[in-house]
Amino acid sequence: MLASTTKGLLQRFINPRSCRREFKVAVVGASGGIGQPLSLLLKQNPLVGELSIHDMKNIKGVQADLSHICTSVQTNAYEDQELGDCLAGADVVVVPAGMPRKPGMTRDQLFEANAGVALRVACAVSESCPQALLAFVTNPINSIVPIAAELLKSKDAYDPRRLFGITTLDVVRASTFVGDFLNLNPRKVDLPVIGGHAGKTILPVFSQCCPSFQCQLEDIKRLTHRIQEAGTEVVIAKAGAGSATLSMAYAAARFVNSLLRGLNEEPDVMECAFVGYKSPCLPFFATPLVLSDKGIEKNLGLAASGRFRAGVPGANAARAGEEHTEGHRLCQREY
Ligand code: LMR
């Protein structure tokens, strides 16, 4: 026993990556438009040991399909009343379940349809895996996260470090649109997006963009509007067939990967997400976070850390792009 502990410590000292752990991830709503591509991406994640998928129907077929993919991730499917079994022992629970928008709707209008789903999942988490990190994709994020927090509080299972609304798609879109604007690879653009996940609450912080760049105020207004309305752009383009699924799955998979890297004790893992915030007049807010084995290690607050400001002020964009810090690239590395 002692010998194996010493061996583990030695391995860690020699090669920290050799101590990689594998985690159980549960996806609730896994047979839906986001849930399926999200599960596909997680089936390929080397930090996932077990992928436990749940939905009200069609989940056995999704699991049979996923299980043929030649990765070592174990997949298990659970239907309807089996939510508790699905979640038991999960390290991370990610929730894409819920109704999508149709053209002309705001995210707020989904509250009635989706709040019950979120409450049911939060309740099951409090009973089956109260230590898990719980991350919602379900809209409206700005209201779903606060009601899930209230439910968890009522069960004495609320820890603000472990509850997240996933806003990574806003960050992904910001990188894409600014990358297009600067004619740069979007992976080299890091722009924190704070606030919330609906219309004007989506606030890209251009002053903290890496690389830093200068442009006309009109360009900033145009880029801000595009980032804020990008979800609606997809809803309109899909003409009644739902909202973003593929880009949302990509963003959620990136966020889950970052949560897992934090759980795996990798340093400097950063993402923006909508979480409990310390101010009484802003009880929930999306901010840049440092993630760790506790979930949120540090909330970097409204003024993001130096990592997000690593560009060279005044330098031309392409050159500043080359000077991206390693810490910056961490979140984008595998996705
Ligand atoms: C998005 O941003 O694409 C999602 O929140 C879905 C939506 O309704 O816009």
* Segment 203-248, tens digit of pLDDT: 999 999 999 999 999 999 999 999 999 999 999 999 999 999 999 9
CA distance 317 to 324: 11
pLDDT of 332 reads 53
CA of 196 to the centre of ligand 1 (A): 12
ipTM of the shown complex: 0.99
Q: Does ligand 1 lie within 6 Å of residue 33's CB atom?
A: no
Rounded distance, CA 148 to CA 113, Å? Answer: 15
Residue nearest to atom 2 of ligand 1 (CA): 231
pLDDT value of residue 260? 98
Ligand 1 neighbour 25 (Cβ under 6 A): no
Spell out where 56-208 has E strands.
74-79, 92-95, 133-136, 163-165, 193-195, 202-204
Helix (H) or strand (E) holding 258: helix 246-263
Band of residue 268 on the pLDDT scale cut at 50, 70, 90 = very high
Q: Report the alpha-carbon distance of residue 254 to residue 265 in Å, rounded.
A: 17
Cα 270 to ligand 1 centroid, rounded to whole Å: 22
| Residue 36 · residue 59 · CB < 8 Å | no
- Ligand 1 centroid–CA 32 distance in Å is 15
Average model confidence (pLDDT) across the chain: 88
Q: Is the CB of 327 under 6 A from ligand 1?
A: no
By DSSP bridging, strand 282-292 and strand 295-299 are antiparallel
Read off the pLDDT of each residue in 295-319 and give the average, rounded to a whole number. Answer: 55
190-to-6, 8, 177, 179, 309 alpha-carbon distances in Å: 40, 36, 11, 9, 9
Q: Say yes or no to pLDDT of 305 above 70.
A: no
Among residues of the chain, what percentage have pLDDT more than 70?
84
pLDDT, one tens digit per residue, over 41-94 is 999 999 999 999 999 999 999 999 999 999 999 999 999 999 999 999 999 999
**How far, in whole angstroms, is CA 243 from its chain's centroid?**
17
Gap from CA of 97 to ligand 1 centroid (Å): 13
Q: Which atom of ligand 1 is nearest to the CA of 248?
A: 3
172 pocket-lining for ligand 1 (C-beta < 6 Å): no
What tokens were used for 3? 């010998």
Residue type, position 228, single letter: Q
| Catalytic residue annotation | 170, 197
How large is the average pLDDT for residues 4-31?
67
Is the predicted pLDDT of residue 326 greater than 80, yes or no?
no
For residue 168, report the distance from its CA to the centre of ligand 1, in Å: 11
| Closest ligand 1 atom to 169 CA | 2
Region for 183 from its dihedrals, namely left if φ exceeds 0, alpha if ψ lies in -120 to 50, beta otherwise: left
Residue nearest to atom 4 of ligand 1 (CA): 231
18 confidence band (pLDDT: 50, 70, 90): low
Let me know the angle formed at the C-alpha of 42 by 38 and 48, rounded to the nearest 5 degrees: 150
Q: Does the predicted TM-score (pTM) go above 0.90? A: no
The finding on whether 244 has its CB within 6 A of some atom of ligand 1 is yes
